[in-house]
């Protein structure tokens, strides 16, 4: 010990006597990473986790559990996995279980076919970097069915680690230039904060276009034009991101609107990124999902062959909700072959997306067919999930709008409500004193007093002076009702307190 | 159709008459991404895949199959998965199978405990962003056992999507500055090309230090000092990456060498990144794995409390070889708490690592214990894999060194040989004519004539004028023998042809 200390002293002397200090501090770290923000798992969630621990330790609270309505995490909220998906992947992991008589034959056959597509017939082998060829082909066929026969090629499909991974990879290709020629990326406000986080990290220029809350969060080409025109002063706008159905805003775009956006992208020379991960989550009467690919191709020349598009999908949403398995894909349309080769190279550095996520994707895009042993159970489970979501979307809007001061647009699709709340000036002042955004102040108080965890609108962006929060519609119906009522009651109390 | 064409013409006119052209081309894309290279899945592998397709189509070749010895993909080469790992994860995916009598009780209990650590008891829920708390705690305990009791904290463990993901995230934190103050990162040459690819993408400055081939790829502090001194002219060296056991070079560092490296990092104020994914793959007599953490902590002050270290591990290597599940972790040591909070934030943007990979990791760091039902089978399977690898490491060196002109260092650890090959001047000239690196020229010819796919040394870096290739030791023993002999015979023929 003495020897060690003597050596230490010698080393310290050799290093100049002073403490050496750390290489990496918040002053010396990558400033782009420091600027990244991600509200969906931000301070409010950190506090929610602390409160959970306090509850476990027996700290008295006016509630018994924390309800995490901050994130679209379906299974965590009690949604049941779809049996066929899980049977297939379990057998892929442990083929010894093929002998189990409780598993239907079509699940066994599917597992066998998937294993045959893997090196050494093991899910533990790396797949090809853009994904298992069989799965890419099934995705292409799924897209063709979805889009009424418009062709899709397996070569244009890149499987990914959730949609986020693919979104960031496509953004990476697009970011170039310096100063006023730096790539600008148009994103909706409110947005899903993966976009702002990725742009901060890549040091691209974020260009906001505002959705029209008063018209059910519609996307307006005039507003796109305003945004792009203003942006040309400070950057080179090259990318237009659309989230349809909307996150956090829940609107579903009309076909006309999509056509107008494509024309705009053509005229302004923008690369289109269509985040379509909620394509199976459309609830409102009169709403239907149209893919950007379908509309683009049906518009004919010059759009069909010229406008570049990347469309993203995920196994985390829809009726499957398999967030933890991290699966997804991007389809690229009209991408320059050289650039596509660069994308292939880029994904190869990370070797491959998680193979189990790819296998789940296979079962989603190629589900059991009528007459097959798993068909009825699969359909029943799928319809139960989507039916319940539609009911909860309706309920959410209904209950929120009963409370004066809360304004909630119809949840036409996706998994969230994003109601606007009026906050009294004294609440805004109290927030300012705590150096918090007013809606963060509200959400923190809500969490502390009711255990309900929702994300402040400031984390998604909103028009100056308006306040919102995002809440998932995922809790089981009966629980959601209680939650919505509790939240409305708290809001009324809060407003009274600060009036 | 006529209408569509008329509309097209009108649109083209609106757009100025000329073709609009693509937004994204190889000229306008991110130049940093264009510079990325990744040899392990580079042109040689692309060609190997083409040849496989040609074989399937019946094109006559002087061989019947392509053997992909380019990548450490154990299961693809026929290594069998470890049963316990697969039983646990299969039950996590499909808890209905808990009733199957063929699965031992300890696998069922483990699956149950893992599910209890998941939201809604489903592997389909997002985990916490740094990973499932239970798994992080088990990893910490594993590290303590490995390092003879030196404490490890779950809070310092971040689970990841394979080791690659964690390596890139830590590098991201460290890259800052511009011009001569841009972060320089020391990497070994030869290196695993994830490092050069990540540095190209992040626009950090790659600083090469050469391993001493003539001394079994030893790491020399004098060479580190030369590299860092020269680098200070053009950048700010802040990071030192070590791969131990070495990839592609297979050396295992001695404890003395690790101490010397740590002292150097202390003196030169470098952040240490220790890629220790092959920690279970040590074969040579007299070689043993020492973790950088253990050596650092045992060196006492000032090193123990001051040198910052990130150590990486993976489920893709070792005895499990679960590449496709994409699991791994980083342990950070002496990281500034503010920076660690930034790392937490950064990983939260991608939500969570694949949950199944986390579960496999749990079974690896907390394997069945003596007396438990799965213990004997687990041990037998593990020892069979590691025993076979040791035998194949020995064989590889032995057979290669029998051929004049091939020089192969002992494969002390990891999964690769990296023999040096002498190439005749006429072969070098022929390669130059084809605008290929001479070892690429050799490897391409090898592939075309024998179906053996190995990666040229130029993809990993090597001393100017020397030529190597990397080949895995993973094929089954009997197949490997034939492969090594075929390769040696081809080499002799190749040399003769160009002499």
Q: B58-82: per-residue pLDDT in tens? A: 999 999 999 989 989 999 999 999 9
Does B86 contact A102 at a Cβ distance shorter than 8 Å? Answer: no
Q: What is the pTM of this model?
A: 0.93
Does residue A441 carry a pLDDT above 60? yes
User: With 0-12 CB in 10 A as exposed, 13-18 as middle and 19+ as buried, what is B155?
Assistant: middle
Percent of chain A with pLDDT over 90: 92
**Residue A183 phi, psi dihedral angles, 5° rounding:** -60, 125
Cβ contacts of residue B145 below 8 Å, gap of 6+? none
Please name the residue ranges forming H helices in B117-204. Answer: 133-146, 162-174, 194-202
Average pLDDT on B317-343 reads 97
Strands B452-453 and B67-68: parallel
Model confidence pLDDT, tens digit, residues A456-487 = 999 999 999 999 999 999 999 999 999 999 99
The predicted structure's pLDDT at residue A2: 44
Question: What contacts 24+ positions apart, CB below 8 Å, involve B399-405?
Answer: B399/B481, B399/B484, B399/B485, B399/B488, B400/B484, B400/B488, B402/B488, B403/B488, B403/B491, B403/B492, B404/B492, B405/B491, B405/B492, B405/B495
Q: Decide: helix, strand or coil at residue A471.
A: strand
Q: Choose the CATH number for A34-78+383-497 among 3.10.20.440, 1.20.1240.10, 3.90.1150.10, 3.30.70.3420.
A: 3.90.1150.10
**A-chain residues within 8 Å CB-CB of B90?**
90-91, 93-94, 97
Q: Decide: helix, strand or coil at residue A131.
A: coil
Cβ contacts of residue B125 below 8 Å, gap of 6+? A73, A74, A75, A76, A323, A324, B118, B119, B355
B312 DSSP assignment: E
Does residue A407 carry a pLDDT above 80? yes
Does residue B187 carry a pLDDT above 70? yes
Alpha-carbon gap, residue A231 to B80, rounded angstroms: 56
Does residue A12 carry a pLDDT above 50? no
Q: Which helix (H) or strand (E) holds A296?
A: helix A292-298
B499 to chain A, closest Cα gap in Å: 36
Percent of chain B with pLDDT over 90: 92
**Domain spans of chain A, in order of start:** 34-78+383-497, 126-365
Q: How far is CA A7 from CA A219, A264, B271, B293, in A?
A: 68, 69, 21, 19
Per CATH, domain B34-78+379-497 is 3.40.190.10: no
Cβ contacts of residue B441 below 8 Å, gap of 6+? B427, B430, B431, B434
Model confidence pLDDT, tens digit, residues A278-292 = 999 999 999 999 999
B181 to chain A, closest Cα gap in Å: 11
Q: In the structure encoding, which two tokens stand for residue B138, read together?
A: 């088990």
Q: Which helix (H) or strand (E) holds A189?
A: strand A183-189
Q: At what angle do helices B221-231 and B255-268 cross, to 10 degrees?
A: 20
B415 neighbors B285 (Cβ within 8 angstroms): no
Model confidence pLDDT, tens digit, residues A155-211 = 999 999 999 999 999 999 999 999 999 999 999 999 999 999 999 999 999 999 999
Q: How far is CA B111 from CA A86, A316, A321, B95, B105, in A?
A: 14, 22, 20, 8, 10
Tokens 């309900």 belong to residue: A452
B437 neighbors B455 (Cβ within 8 angstroms): no
Does B266 contact A336 at a Cβ distance shorter than 8 Å? Answer: no
Does B81 contact A122 at a Cβ distance shorter than 8 Å? Answer: yes
Q: Looking at A9-13, A135-139, A329-333, B168-172, which range is the least confident one?
A: A9-13
Q: Decide: helix, strand or coil at residue A368.
A: coil
Beta strands in A62-174 (DSSP E): 67-68, 157-160
**A-chain residues within 8 Å CB-CB of B67?**
none
Does residue B16 carry a pLDDT above 70? no
Tokens 């292939």 belong to residue: A344
Model confidence pLDDT, tens digit, residues B89-148 = 999 999 999 999 999 999 999 999 999 999 999 999 999 999 999 999 999 999 999 999
Model confidence pLDDT, tens digit, residues B346-387 = 998 888 999 999 999 999 999 999 999 999 999 999 999 999
Average pLDDT on A488-499 reads 96
Q: How far is CA B462 from CA A118, B206, B465, in A?
A: 33, 14, 8
A206 beta partners = A185
Does residue A366 carry a pLDDT above 80? yes
Model confidence at B9, pLDDT cuts 50, 70, 90, reads very low
Mutation target vs B (from A80, A320, A351, A355; most B CBs, 10 A cutoff):
A351
Q: Decide: helix, strand or coil at residue B446.
A: helix
B93 neighbors B356 (Cβ within 8 angstroms): yes
**Residue A184 phi, psi dihedral angles, 5° rounding:** -100, 140
Q: In the structure encoding, which two tokens stand for residue A46, read together?
A: 């950190």
**B-chain residues within 8 Å CB-CB of A75?**
118-120, 122, 124-125
Alpha-carbon gap, residue A109 to A121, rounded angstroms: 14
Model confidence pLDDT, tens digit, residues B20-73 = 789 999 999 999 999 998 877 778 988 998 999 999 999 999 999 999 899 899
The predicted structure's pLDDT at residue A9: 45
- Establish whether domains B34-78+379-497 and B126-365 are of one fold: no
Alpha-carbon gap, residue A438 to A442, rounded angstroms: 6
Mutation target vs B (from A8, A13, A20, A23; most B CBs, 10 A cutoff):
A23
User: With 0-12 CB in 10 A as exposed, 13-18 as middle and 19+ as buried, what is A65?
Assistant: exposed
Q: How far is CA B174 from CA B207, B309, B397, in A?
A: 14, 12, 38
A393 to chain B, closest Cα gap in Å: 21
Per CATH, domain A126-365 is 3.40.640.10: yes
């Amino acid at each position: 010990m003495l020897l060690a200390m003597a050596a230490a002293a010698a080393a310290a002397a050799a290093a100049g006597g002073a403490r050496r200090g750390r290489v990496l501090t918040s002053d010396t770290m990558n400033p782009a990473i420091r600027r990244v923000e991600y509200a969906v798992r931000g301070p409010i969630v950190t506090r929610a986790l602390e409160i959970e621990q306090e509850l476990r330790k027996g700290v008295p609270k006016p509630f018994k559990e924390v309800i995490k309505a901050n994130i679209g995490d379906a299974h965590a909220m009690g949604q049941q996995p779809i049996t066929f998906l899980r049977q297939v992947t379990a057998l892929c992991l442990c083929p010894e279980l093929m002998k189990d008589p409780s598993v239907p034959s079509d699940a066994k056959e599917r597992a066998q076919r998937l294993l045959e597509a893997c090196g050494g017939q093991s899910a533990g082998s790396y797949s090809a970097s853009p994904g298992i060829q069989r799965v890419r082909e099934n995705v292409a066929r799924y897209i063709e069915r979805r889009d009424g026969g418009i062709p899709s090629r397996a070569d244009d499909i890149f499987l990914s680690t959730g949609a986020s991974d693919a979104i960031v990879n496509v953004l990476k290709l697009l970011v170039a230039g310096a100063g006023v020629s730096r790539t600008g990326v148009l994103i909706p406000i409110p947005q899903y904060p993966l976009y702002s986080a990725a742009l901060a990290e890549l040091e691209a220029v974020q260009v906001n276009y505002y959705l029209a809350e008063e018209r059910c969060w519609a996307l307006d080409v005039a507003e796109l034009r305003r945004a792009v025109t203003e942006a040309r002063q400070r950057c080179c706008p090259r990318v237009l991101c659309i989230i349809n159905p909307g996150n956090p805003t829940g609107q579903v775009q009309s076909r006309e609107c999509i056509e107008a956006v494509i024309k705009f992208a053509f005229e302004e020379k923008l690369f289109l990124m269509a985040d379509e991960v909620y394509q199976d989550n459309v609830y409102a009467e009169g709403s239907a999902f149209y893919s950007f690919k379908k509309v683009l191709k049906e518009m004919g020349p010059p759009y069909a062959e010229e406008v570049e598009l990347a469309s993203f999908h995920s196994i985390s949403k829809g009726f499957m909700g398999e967030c933890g398995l991290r699966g997804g894909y991007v389809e690229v349309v009209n991408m320059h072959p050289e650039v596509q080769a660069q994308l292939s190279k880029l994904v190869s550095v990370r070797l491959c997306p998680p193979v189990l996520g790819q296998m789940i994707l296979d079962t989603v895009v190629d589900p059991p067919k009528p007459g097959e042993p798993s068909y009825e159970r699969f359909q029943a489970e799928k319809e139960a999930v989507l039916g319940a979501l539609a009911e909860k979307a309706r309920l959410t809007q209904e209950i929120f709008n009963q409370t004066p001061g809360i304004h909630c647009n119809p949840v036409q699709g996706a998994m969230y409500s994003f109601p606007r709340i009026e906050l009294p000036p004294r609440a805004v002042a109290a927030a300012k004193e705590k150096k918090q955004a007013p809606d963060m102040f509200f959400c923190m108080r809500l969490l502390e007093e009711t255990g309900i965890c929702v994300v402040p609108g400031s984390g998604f962006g909103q028009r100056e002076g308006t306040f919102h929060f995002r809440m998932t519609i995922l809790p089981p119906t009966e629980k959601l009702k209680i939650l919505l009522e509790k939240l409305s009651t708290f809001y009324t109390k809060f407003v009274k307190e600060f009036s």
